[in-house]
Amino acid sequence: MYRTATLLLILLGLSTTLVAQSTDLWGFTPENAQRQLALEAKFDQAINVTNFDAWIKELAGKPHHVGSPHGRANAETMVRLLREWGWDAQIETFYVLFPTPKVRLVELVGPKPYKAKLAEGVIPGDPYTAQPGQLPTYNAFSADGDVTADLVFVNYGVPGDYEQLERMGIDVKGKIVIAKYGGSWRGIKPKVAAEHGAIGCIIYSDPEDDGYFEGDVYPEGAFKTASGAQRGSVLDMPLYPGDPLTPNVGATQDAKRLERKDAPTLMKIPVLPISYEDAQPLLAALRGPVAPAAWRGGLPITYHIGPGPAKVHLKLEFDWSLQPAHNVIAKMRGSEFPDEWVIRGNHHDAWVHGASDPVSGMVAVLEEARIIGELVKQGQRPKRTLVYCAWDAEEPGLLGSTEWVEFHADELRQKAVAYINSDGNGRGYLYAGGSHTLEKFFNQVARDVKDPQHGISVLERRRSASMVQGQDMSSLELGALGSGSDYTPFIQHLGIASMNIGYGGESDGGEYHTNYDTYPHYTRFKDPGLAYGVALAETGGRTALRLANADLLPFDFQRFSRTVNQYAEDLMKMTDSQRQKFERQNKLLAEGAYKYTTDPRQPLLAPKPKAAVPYLNFAPLQNALAELKQAADNYQAAASKANLTQAAQTNQLLIQAERALTREAGLPRRPWFQHHIYAPGFYTGYGVKTLPGIREAIEEEKYTEAQEQVQILADVLAGFTQLVNMAAAKLK
Amino acid sequence: MYRTATLLLILLGLSTTLVAQSTDLWGFTPENAQRQLALEAKFDQAINVTNFDAWIKELAGKPHHVGSPHGRANAETMVRLLREWGWDAQIETFYVLFPTPKVRLVELVGPKPYKAKLAEGVIPGDPYTAQPGQLPTYNAFSADGDVTADLVFVNYGVPGDYEQLERMGIDVKGKIVIAKYGGSWRGIKPKVAAEHGAIGCIIYSDPEDDGYFEGDVYPEGAFKTASGAQRGSVLDMPLYPGDPLTPNVGATQDAKRLERKDAPTLMKIPVLPISYEDAQPLLAALRGPVAPAAWRGGLPITYHIGPGPAKVHLKLEFDWSLQPAHNVIAKMRGSEFPDEWVIRGNHHDAWVHGASDPVSGMVAVLEEARIIGELVKQGQRPKRTLVYCAWDAEEPGLLGSTEWVEFHADELRQKAVAYINSDGNGRGYLYAGGSHTLEKFFNQVARDVKDPQHGISVLERRRSASMVQGQDMSSLELGALGSGSDYTPFIQHLGIASMNIGYGGESDGGEYHTNYDTYPHYTRFKDPGLAYGVALAETGGRTALRLANADLLPFDFQRFSRTVNQYAEDLMKMTDSQRQKFERQNKLLAEGAYKYTTDPRQPLLAPKPKAAVPYLNFAPLQNALAELKQAADNYQAAASKANLTQAAQTNQLLIQAERALTREAGLPRRPWFQHHIYAPGFYTGYGVKTLPGIREAIEEEKYTEAQEQVQILADVLAGFTQLVNMAAAKLK
């Protein structure tokens, strides 16, 4: 579900020492480090790239969305393989709401009628694109509806775009909006449109974003053909992901379910994605103001806003049945600490064939599992239990993983050391987001994986890229996790330290969630030779095995402390700059500057006056951070002198550390999201908001709430600090 | 010739006191200030907007390029009017080389043949566009040629684009290049292409720049239709403007002329502008690397670079005859100082009808002249002589004005107080560039002109715009003058303090140098109601009359000193940042960072290593500037206490001040350009380079020359400072 281009936004910058001796492994005694490195060398040597190729062909051989026959077959194939490799594997099925379309209609009823094709063309030379069983192009969890109204072009359809529309004097109430893909997660567009009174929403992929503007279109190149349209969920995931009918509990057959009308995450208005070929006649028929320069795309038209005279008829009906979501869960019991679980996963369901999303990541996870099975047979069983997972129903809204996490919440809270996610893969640079307690550890992983193109480490290659881009990166910084893939229930809901990893940056295309994400497309454009699939297996396997075998779990609190301190500073600066911005805007209003500069060709109303931003008391947070820093330094000092072979009790505390960053009450108005350092933005969808309780309150101008959240976060951090101090004490 | 969009780049920022008493006029005694303000009030009241309308219809009624019957008729009409108004007016004719096309052919000979139409379509509802006598679309001073070669897309075709091409491994030697309009003056594109070995050049207007991407196209809106193409000169004006056969002397009938083959400013290769309708098949036929994102435009294609497989045949032949350029020169003898000339001008020739460029500015100049004539008849003769000019042959390369300036150089050096230029006009904001000795003076002019839309001063409206854009402007800063209109021979060649003024910013369109710059287009889109024509007459007339009547000529050296000091600081920073940039680039090269980050889909070679940037000795310049600052302060102190009625001798010195900023030897490799503070860039064409001798040497990595130029500029400034000191002494 996660898109590479989006993932690259979670990218990373500078800091401390990049070069280290590769015999030094954080959390291992010198002897055990040697043993671990030898194990990893064996692991790397065992990787067989022909498996990747065969499994992509197999798993992405037919359409395999939730509830499809090939989806079930894939789950069964994987269970069979995992069992062959020595894993304790089974299918765990949940029953989730998964609407599929019965009626889809978009037509321009005036001034010049046009009926949208809503069909992705077959590509000569790519027989996959002609296969039966494809889900049509649609947005899962759209409302049913039959509406006719004037059309309004709303750019990306994010809140800032509506502020601009308001200044243009344009109201979308009772209108149908058309928004470009991009600028936010897609589900934000109809949600914000509905908040502003729109009665329907059309989303299209502008050719500037992933069509001919970016490069040659499929099959000549990797980019979106005129008829391609991006499928995808519009569930209100920033409220809670997973089955909309069973928040907080597993969607077992007999689970207590909400009635559909009461499910708060279902979209309130009908919404449908269309191709740029279908969008062009609609957009070309708009008049009204010319769109601001930043709103215009790559179609050969003048982009107008409307409303109308283009009038659109949008009709959608769905089959709202429950479907089985087949998660594959495979365990390899740990030799020493079987109740400490290191979890690794990737989803297996796709919108259509999904050779890239998700299969390219799934096959790396499978290859890791195969080799681990082999190593176990050779007597090299990991110390901790490994849990390898293939999630179903990720595409419609992280349904498979969320239901599993909710169902096993108590056990996971107790046992989970960390969760390592991937979700597709491509050629290029290592990207990684995750809990900052794992940043130091992961730098050593990146140091020890070779880049397949150049033979330097993937860390070194990332550094070259950042240097060429004008930054001076000395080590990898993990991006903070928002949402968009299966790590969300682990980190955001339960507080399990998580990572999301993959490669990309030399693999962009327009196939995302279309019928063109096929084996030929993937192997021609995304990872020719599948060398970066190998790199992902080396990275994921190494990450899992080091966590499974470490003497002392390799969490570090200094980098966490430094990073959260940076977030807090950013937040304080943001508050000041919001105050200055509003003050300036109010001053310009008073002086008439907006009135004097409105262009008669494109009149703009003055913005509304803003309430003054009060000075907030950040001291509780600053004091909590100062204590955390002290605790992190103490822990580091203790760990560097400790006898790592005696760390079992400390590890029990370390496992709980990330949990201490959650609160059962959760974030304001969305209690499912319990982590207080990272959350997906309520109005960005995938994009992260760090220190979200405070940050979103300030952004939404709720200053009393912001002040309350400062205290809440300070208390959360105090609990975390206490746990770090206990861990340090245990080490002495 | 100057384009509004380009002019807006010469815009301006902050500084000192904006609000002043409007009875305070710099250079006038209080009594004379009252008299002058009363005169200006009369002037404003006399403006009759129906004249603007009638004269635009008349002058832009038919095509009137150099040598055309309507061009001659316009000159005769203006002389007649000026004489009626009491001016001593005549036509001064020069004989200039002005090539016009005999053969124009562009065809794609493979892979899929296409013959370019090279014809601008007639617009329904605009009968002007169907008139006979139009010059076809072409670039004046292109070479004759008949070439066939593979095509290469070179973005804007400026030097930085060729650095990028080199990194892509693409050589244009023996190829035909196609460049977008924009990014530099058009003449730079074929010049740089020829320097790199290209044998032909095609320039087209991308719809992203002034076509459908920007707004509705003509006749629905103001922007460029599919068949429109921008005519224009490609004379190597950064070497010298004016008639290419008579550098430094007036092109009188019997002037000594270079042979055409020896004229260094003629373009070396054939070059032709085409429409985007004609460009699309050519660009769509290119393959090779996909163009970098910043190079792509608004056509619905993937922009590739080539070379080929698109092969193009370009054939051009011109009639290279001499044509008469009819300047209209009108004098109103000054009552007290007849040998002190205040010169005001706008050109009258157009590429086709030129309702906007130049007629909209020309009619304001005419209205100023009419009213001044009326005021003189009422006994209000200006103290100094006014010289009002209508230049011919500006479009092909400032030919009319340059020849007149060269011919009258000695008299102008002695008598010219200042030159005030305009070149077309439109709705919006005041823009002004010019000698910084006039900045303080011009702020008072802008303070006293009312904005027609809002009734506040045009200065106040500019301030509102800068506030809304996030700047805090307290007074108007003049942009430095580069080139692109008739001020160039005055300021750059002779050192006459000059200004370039106009309104714009709410008047953009795609008509520039096309057959669509007509009366209907202008009055619908550029200045409906012609209210900003009135504002231009109020501004130009006020500027001329204040300079003509001032007791003490209103030059100020404090702002000049401050501005040049800023230029020097920028230059020192630029040198440091060039040093750091090259050092970093060399370091990255050594570390292999470019090699490790080249994308196999779009390989990029590493840049070439750079020679280290030495530390230059800027002390002579800094010391000269310190002395200038002292002199400027002394002058201001003296002027504020002086008896302004006794300033005649001081004025004689002040007239010479700007001359002291020139050197007869001129700039390196282009002696015609004698001003040492401002020059058009050798590789920007219109865009200014301040402190050009030093700046261009550094940019071109000629560090020994840069050091020499530091000393030269220091000496120039010392001479200027001496003159300022003498002027201050005279005032005491």
**What is the pLDDT of chain B when averaged over all its residues?**
95
pLDDT of amino acid A701: 97
Return the C-alpha torsion angle B550, B553, B556, B557, nearest 10: -170
- Strand B271-274 with B200-204, pairing: parallel
DSSP string of B556-575? -SHHHHHHHHHHHHHHHHHH
Q: Do B300 and A212 touch (CB under 8 A)?
A: yes
DSSP 3-state helix, strand, coil percentages of chain B (rounded to 5)?
40, 20, 40
Nearest-angstrom CA–CA distance, A522 and A129: 13
pLDDT tens, position by position, B250-287: 999 999 999 999 999 999 999 999 999 999 999 999 99
pLDDT at A283: 98
**Model ipTM value:** 0.94
For A548-576, letters b (16+ CB in 10 Å) and e give: bbbbbbbbbbbbbbbbbbebbeebbeebe
Residue A43 has pLDDT above 90, yes or no: yes
| 3-state SS assignment for residue A498 | strand
Chain B residues close to A207, C-beta within 8 Å: 300
Does residue A125 have a pLDDT over 50? Answer: yes
The tally of CA atoms less than 13 A away on the side-chain side of residue B521 is: 36
* Predicted pLDDT at B7: 39
Instruction: Please give the Cα distance from B327 to B21 (Å, whole number).
Output: 40
Residues on chain B touching A595 (C-beta within 8 angstroms): 454
CATH 1.20.930.40 in chain B is located at 558-731
Give the one of A215, A506, A597 whose C-beta lies nearest to B465's C-beta. A597
Mean pLDDT of B369-380: 98
Hey, what are B627's tokens?
A: 């002395």
Subunit contact B461:A221, Cβ cutoff 8 A = no
Statement: residue B23 has pLDDT above 80: no
Which of the pair, B4 or A69, is modelled with greater confidence?
A69
**For residue A223, pLDDT beyond 50:** yes
d(CA B347, CA B538) in angstroms, rounded, equals 19
pLDDT at B381 over 60: yes
For helices A69-84 and A361-377, give the axis angle rounded to 10 degrees: 20
Residues of B with CB under 8 A from a CB of A: 207, 212-217, 221, 223, 290, 293, 296, 298-302, 427-428, 451, 453-454, 456, 460-461, 464-465, 467-468, 506, 588, 591-597, 599-601
A601 and B506 within 8 Å at the Cβ level: the answer is yes
> What is the per-residue pLDDT for B3?
52
Chain B interface disruption, residue of A19, A206, A457, A464, most B CBs within 10 A: A464
CA angle centred on B436, ends B430 and B437, rounded to 5°: 120
- Domain formed by B100-319, architecture: 3-Layer(bba) Sandwich (3.50)
Instruction: Measure A162 CA to nearest chain B CA, in Å.
Output: 19
- Which residues in A119-215 belong to E strands, given as ranges? 139-140, 145-153, 176-180, 200-204
CB–CB contact B301 A465 (8 Å):
no
Taking contacts as CB-CB distances below 8 angstroms, the residues of chain B near A302 are: 212-217, 221, 223
Q: How close are the terminal C-alpha atoms of chain B, in Å?
A: 45
In this predicted structure, what is the pLDDT of residue A14?
33
- Is B138 within 8 Å of B201 (Cβ atoms)? no
Query: What is the signed CA dihedral for A718, A722, A723, A727, rounded to 10 degrees?
Result: 150
Distance from A208 to chain B by nearest Cα, in Å? Answer: 9
Say if residue A491's pLDDT is above 90. Answer: yes
- Chain B residues with CB under 8 Å of A427 CB are 600
List phi, psi (to 5°) of A196: -95, 10
CA–CA distance, B46 with B40 (Å, rounded to integer) = 10
Cβ-based contacts of B427 with chain A (< 8 Å): 600
Minimal C-alpha gap between B206 and chain A (Å): 11
Residue A668's nearest CA partner among A625, A624, A712 is A712
CB atoms within 10 A of CB B168: 16
- Subunit contact A302:B427, Cβ cutoff 8 A: no
Q: Compute the average pLDDT of residues B244-252.
A: 98
| Closest Cα in chain A to B206 | A300
Least confident of A11-25, A619-633, B649-663, B664-678: A11-25
| Percent with pLDDT over 90 in chain B | 94
Evaluate the CA torsion angle A254, A260, A263, A265 in order and state its sign.
positive
Rounded to 10 degrees, what is the CA torsion of B674, B675, B679, B683? 30
**Interchain proximity B461–A301, CB inside 8 Å:** no
Sign (positive or negative) of CA dihedral B695, B699, B705, B707: positive
Cα–Cα distance measured from residue B128 to residue A176, given in angstroms and rounded to the nearest whole number: 42
Where do the CATH 3.40.630.10 domains begin and end in chain A? 4-97+323-549
Compute CA distances A599 → A503, A644, B4, B6, B315, whole Å.
Answer: 47, 70, 16, 19, 44
Per residue in A658-679, pLDDT tens?
999 999 999 999 999 999 999 9
Pick the CATH number of A558-731 from 1.20.5.440, 1.20.930.40, 2.40.50.140, 3.20.20.70: 1.20.930.40
Q: Do A467 and B591 touch (CB under 8 A)?
A: yes
> Which residues from B are below 8 Å from A588, CB to CB?
467-468
- Give whole-number Cα distances, B89 to A241, B82, B333, in Å: 82, 6, 11
Q: How do residues A69-86 score in pLDDT, each as one tens digit?
A: 999 999 999 999 999 999
Banded model confidence at residue A472, pLDDT cuts 50, 70, 90: confident
* Residue B458 to chain A, least CA–CA distance (Å): 10
Mean pLDDT of B506-520: 97
CB atoms within 10 A of CB A671: 15
3-state percent helix, strand, coil for chain A, nearest multiple of 5: 40, 20, 40
How close A402 gets to chain B, by Cα (Å)? Answer: 37
Confidence tier at A1 by pLDDT (50, 70, 90): low
Say if residue B9's pLDDT is above 70. no
- Residue among B207, B595, B600 minimizing CB distance to A506: B600
CB-based contacts of B297: which residues, under 8 Å, 6+ apart?
B180, B206, B207, B208, B209, B213, B303
Give the mean model confidence (pLDDT) for residues B185-205: 97
Question: Residue B656: helix, strand or coil by DSSP?
Answer: helix
Quote the tokens at residue B19. Answer: 């609000």
Cβ contact, residue pair A302, B216, below 8 Å: yes
pLDDT at B10 over 50: no
What pLDDT is attached to residue A164?
97
pLDDT in tens, A128-147: 999 999 999 999 999 999 99
At A263, list the tokens.
């499910």
Q: Is residue A16 within 8 Å of A475, Cβ to Cβ?
A: yes
Are B398 and B486 in contact, with CB atoms under 8 Å apart?
Answer: yes
- Cβ–Cβ contacts within 10 Å for residue A122, how many? 14
pLDDT, residue B322, reads 98
Please answer yes or no on whether B213 and A302 come within 8 Å at the CB atom. Answer: yes
Band of pLDDT at residue A2, cut at 50, 70 and 90: low
Q: Is pLDDT of A5 > 50?
A: no
Look at domain B4-97+323-549 and name its CATH class: alpha beta
Taking residues B540-548, report their average pLDDT. Answer: 98
- Letter string b/e over residues A690-726, b meaning 16 or more CB atoms within 10 A of that residue's CB: bbbbbbbbbbeeebebbbebbebbbebbbebbebbbb
What CA–CA distance (Å, rounded) separates A435 from A420? 11
Which residues does B202 contact at the CB level (< 8 Å), separation at least 6? B106, B151, B176, B177, B178, B179, B271, B272, B273, B274, B279, B282, B312, B314
Architecture of the CATH domain A100-315: 3-Layer(bba) Sandwich (3.50)
Q: Please say if the pLDDT value at position A732 is more than 90.
A: no
**Chain A residues within 8 A (CB-CB) of chain B?**
207, 212-217, 221, 223, 290, 293, 296, 298-302, 427-428, 451, 453-454, 456, 460-461, 464-465, 467-468, 506, 588, 591-597, 599-601
What is the rounded average pLDDT for all residues in chain A? 95
- Nearest-CA distance A673 → chain B (Å): 38
Instruction: Report CB contact under 8 Å: B596, A456.
Output: yes
Whether the pLDDT of residue A4 is over 70: the answer is no
Q: How far apart are CA A522 and CA A507, in angstroms?
A: 9
pLDDT higher than threshold 70 for residue A16: no
Q: Two tokens at A541?
A: 């396997």
Chain A residues whose CB is inside 8 A of the B217 CB are 302
| Residue B420: predicted pLDDT | 98
pLDDT tier for residue B471 given thresholds of 50, 70 and 90:
confident
What confidence category does residue B418 fall into, taking pLDDT thresholds of 50, 70 and 90?
A: very high
Quote the distance between the C-alpha of residue B401 and its chain's center. Answer: 13
Which residue shows structure tokens 């997660």? A185
Q: Which is nearest to A99 in space by CA: A316, A353, A398, A354?
A: A316
Question: What single letter denotes the amino acid at residue B511?
Answer: E
pLDDT digits (tens, 9 = 90+) for A506-550: 999 999 999 999 999 999 999 999 999 999 999 999 999 999 999
Q: How far is CA B729 from the centre of its chain?
A: 36
Distance (Å, whole) CA A109 – CA A168? 25
Cβ distance B468 to A298 less than 8 Å, yes or no, reads no
Q: Which residues of A267-279 are buried (b: 16+ CB within 10 A; e: fewer)?
A: bbbbbbbbbbbbb
Cα–Cα dist A457/A445, whole Å:
10
d(CA A192, CA B129): 47
CATH 3.50.30.30 residue ranges for chain B: 100-319
What pLDDT shows up at residue B111?
Answer: 82
Q: Is the pLDDT of residue A12 over 70?
A: no
**At B610, is the secondary structure helix, strand, or coil?**
coil
Whether residue B506 is predicted with pLDDT greater than 90 in this model: the reply is: yes
* Comparison of pLDDT for A5 and B436, the residue scoring more: B436
Return the residue in B213, B280, B430 with the most chain A beta carbons within 10 A, the one to mutate for interface testing. Answer: B213
Beta-carbon separation of B601 and A213 below 8 A: no
Structure tokens at A289: 């103001």
Task: Give a three-class secondary structure readout of A67-126.
Answer: CCHHHHHHHHHHHHHHHHCCCEEEEEEEEEECCEEEEEEEEEEECCCEECCCCCCCCCCC
Give the separation between CA B10 and CA B435, rounded to whole angstroms: 13
Check if the beta carbon of residue B539 is closer than 8 Å to that of residue B458. yes
